[in-house]
A and B are shown apart, each in its own frame.
Chain A
Amino acid sequence: MTITLYPARRIITMNPSQPEGDCLAVKDGRVLSLGSLEQARAFGEVTVDDRYADKVLMPGFVEGHSHALEGAIWEYIYLGWFDKQSPAGQRWSGLRDVASLQARLAEGLARLTPGEPLIAWGFDPIYFSGARLDKGLLDTVSDTVPIIVMHASLHVMTVNSAVIEQATIASKEIDGIVRNAGGECVGELQEMPAMHLVFDRYGIDFFEQASQPEALRQYARAARREGITTITDLLNPLSDGAVESMRSTTLEPSFPVRLVPALNALGWAPEEGSEQLAKAMTQGHDKLVFGIVKLVTDGAIQNYTARLQWPGYLDVEGNGVWNAPPQTFHDMVLHYHQAGFQLHIHTNGDEAVEVMLDALEEALCLWPRLNHRHTLQHVQLIRQDQLYRVKQLDACLNIFANHIYYWGDIHLSRTLGFDRCQRLEPTASANRLDITFGIHCDAPVTPLSPLFTAHCAHRRQTASGAVLGVEEAINRQVALEAITLGAARTLHLDRHIGSLEPGKWADVVVLDDDPLDESIALKDIRIHATLLGGLPTDA
């Protein structure tokens, strides 16, 4: 194989021994040299490719927590509050009032295949404090074509009269069917027993669709556009069908990212789950890496389902929900830890963090294991004493920095209040304690864009412009490390990715602007291209 050499305006490596590079030389898909043309020539004949000569190169971004559902859900109409871009590159503006929501549904209706229901997603009622979406507002769009609006939480939907009739909802006795004082269905269906009537009637299964090849391709396309070269699917069923679909799709030469799916531990009995994962690992290759396990413990703060310690939520009574008894989480942690796998544990509230730190400590006492890299995910409300325990247990964190922008105003005024917003997403504390950490977007919960995520961790600005917890802001260099090497370490893949270092895979993001230039906001840095294993992904 020949050596390809890419000269660049600047190369930021994330390798402390050689923080900046001169030219990127690639051989056999790996980084060969970051020195000068002459130094690369010492290895043999060099072909110079100067297409990136005026660009800035960095290690490709690593998104350590997002979901392939992002690739499936754009088949449906987007009704979210914030602007968003689809995997195909189409910009969807955020919708701020009922009239524009109805207008977008009407556009979708005009393009709908006859006989199909009109499905929309992303509607977040926490931003619509005045009007409540109901069947009347949807019937204005159509009362004959079924219309289904999934809320952003995925725990609630609003439907029109056609759905209520076709799925025979009115006669059913389910608490989640919201009714007015006169007993009439208003169109809102909460939680699975009520929503099942609709899923069953129209054969809707979002998570099944997420494992299909076309959804995976869309997901990869969306990732590539944001400069991502390694992406996770952090809650995968890992059924035989899903494994086969991921294997064949990621083997396509044009598939532009590496994919790291996590086994959904609650979908399996522990013995069977680890068998299935070991089996899946035999199907992995350079672009598909199995071996991580996801455990979802509590819910989400903005849905009031995260498990919080005292004093609980600001504006509602009661605590969040557990997805299984805490003892089950202990047992699963012990099992997968002993079986030699790496755990990624969803913990939004500080009570969930506490319970899972206890479980990790127990597992590590019974069976010490160096370099386990078990990672707590989200950890939005983790306290200082808990951060210190994370350090003592040698665990890693993946912090949900995007929440500051998307729900920071809500957390300040409704769910948490002032003090806990000072410690929300505490990246600076994690950095100060030298904890290995990444930052993430949890797409489709918030949009894929590692640079935007880094911007959130750096600036800590909410959507309204307020700054939350300035003491927890990290500088650019640290934020950029969190979306590259930090995230790679949480996936235990830093031997191959996360920095530009001789021997590592030549996964690169090519930027139009310099991310260390303080005059340009990180979120405004433009992505020009990516390379995977040294090859441009747009070829």
Chain B
Amino acid sequence: MLDSAQSIGVHLLCGFLGSGKTTLINAMIADGKISDALFLINDFGSMNIDADLIESREGGVIRLTNGCACCGLSGNLSSQLTQISRWPRPPQWLVVEASGVAQPRPLMQLFNSAPGYYLADVKLLVDISAIGRLLEDATVGDLVRHQVAEAPAMVINRWEGLSRNECDARRNQLQALSPNAQISWAAPPQPAVITHRGDCLGEAIVPELKPLVPGALVSFTLTLPGPVDISRLTQVLDAATSILLRAKGFVASEETPSGCLLLQWTPSGSSVTRTHRRHASALVLIGKGRDNLAYLASQLMEYSSMPSR
């Protein structure tokens, strides 16, 4: 830490998959309190940066209007650190989202020693609602236990759904694994910060569906003739949770002129995958009541088709 005036200060965020690292980074970007920072992100695709904050995208780097930037953690961290430190104007801060299996100790040692960097801060995020199961897991239990044992500081997330007693018991379990670690509780989630990927897609139209009485379980296949607006399509599906259990299929979209989109919808969320192959456009609806699904299909046709040009 001799020449920290010129060196890049590193904020290291560790934690197993689902521990809240991405949510925290999204919040750090949104609140804008950190300036001149490069966010080095393990799961770049899950980033949900407000379009207003983005100044430009080039070569895998997203530049933000507040002077910060984001890029993905490459497969070769050593070479990436060398390159960043040799940028003509290196950032003042580097916020590193470690891989879910990374151990904190070697990374702390790396940033304490790597030429051009110093470790400013390290946190292990813990999803307390999942940690009990993870510590017992046959394939990853050892790894998670080591992460906890090596972390000098832990931030506990996702405690809202647990009772006070459960929280205390699990906190004590963590402290026993890492007696010297500082343990703190994350602030309760702000609705504006935690967003599902689907929520920020396109304009909201939220159609009013008529009241539906669930019937027998059936499936219904719908062919959507032209390109669809995928965000509108999912909004219509979201409005039908009283009768719809599952929807999946390929749809044509102007986003992928040479392929199509694969939609998988469940009541708890949906995913959209771009595919490079052409498939016949067909959506399978599984739900309660044939008439209900036929009605839903008509609403999908009406609301999700792209206007013709």
Contact = CB atoms under 8 A, between A and B. Distances in A.
A208 B79 contact: yes
Contact of B277 (A173, A203, A340): A340
Contacts of A192: 77-78, 106, 110
A196 B82 CA distance: 9
B81 interface: yes
A264 B75 contact: yes
B140 A196 contact: no
B72 A193 contact: no
A326 interface: yes
A245 B275 CA distance: 26
A327 interface: yes
A319 interface: yes
Interface string A202-215: 01010110000000
Given A192-B106, A266-B75, A267-B74, A325 B140 contact: yes
Contacts of B107: 193
Given A192-B78, A200-B78, A269-B45, 6 more contacts: A172-B112, A172-B113, A175-B105, A267-B72, A267-B74, A325-B100
B276 A196 contact: no
B115 interface: yes
A196 B100 contact: no
Contacts of A362: none
A191 B277 CA distance: 41
A272 B43 CA distance: 10
Contacts of A37: none
B140 A322 contact: yes
B75 A237 contact: yes
Ranked 9 nearest A-B pairs via Cβ: A269-B45, A193-B110, A267-B75, A325-B17, A269-B44, A340-B277, A172-B113, A278-B276, A271-B45
Interface string B274-285: 111100000000
Interface in A190-230: 191-193, 195-197, 199-201, 203, 205, 207-208
A19 interface: no
A339 interface: yes
Given A176-B106, A269-B46, A272-B72, A203 B82 contact: yes
A280 to B, nearest CB: 11
Given A272-B72, A325-B17, A195 B139 contact: no
B308 interface: no
Interface of B: 16-18, 43-46, 59, 72, 74-79, 81-82, 85, 99-101, 105-107, 109-110, 112-115, 139-140, 142-143, 248, 258-259, 262, 264, 273-277
A207 B113 CA distance: 23
A366 B265 CA distance: 12
A323 B102 CA distance: 9
Interface residues of A, number: 53
A324 B16 CA distance: 10
- A interface majority secondary structure: helix
A351 interface: yes
Contacts of B276: 274, 277-278, 281, 339-341
Contacts of A326: 139-140
Contact of B79 (A191, A205, A307, A366): A205
Nearest to A340: B277
Contacts of A322: 101, 139-140, 143
Contact of B262 (A174, A267, A338): A338
Interface string A401-426: 00000000000000000000000000
Contacts of B113: 172-174, 193, 196-197
Nearest to A267: B75
A335 interface: yes
Contacts of B81: 196, 200
Nearest to B111: A193
A275 interface: yes
A258 to B, nearest CB: 21
A117 interface: no
A278 B16 contact: no
Contacts of A340: 259, 275-277
Contact of B17 (A208, A268, A318, A328): A328
A191 B106 CA distance: 9
13 contacts: A173-B113, A174-B110, A196-B78, A197-B113, A237-B74, A267-B74, A269-B45, A271-B274, A318-B142, A319-B142, A325-B17, A339-B276, A340-B275
A178 interface: no
A270 interface: yes
A95 to B, nearest CB: 27
B78 A268 contact: no
Contacts of A355: 139
Nearest to B137: A326
A195 B72 CA distance: 22
Contacts of B105: 175
A172 B110 CA distance: 9
Contacts of A203: 82
Given A267-B75, A327-B17, A196 B114 contact: yes
Given A175-B109, A340-B277, A324 B115 contact: no
B101 A323 contact: yes
Contacts of A199: 78-79, 82
A335 B273 contact: yes
Contacts of B106: 174-176, 191-193
Nearest to B262: A338
A278 B78 CA distance: 28
A11 to B, nearest CB: 37
Contact of B72 (A268, A324, A328): A268
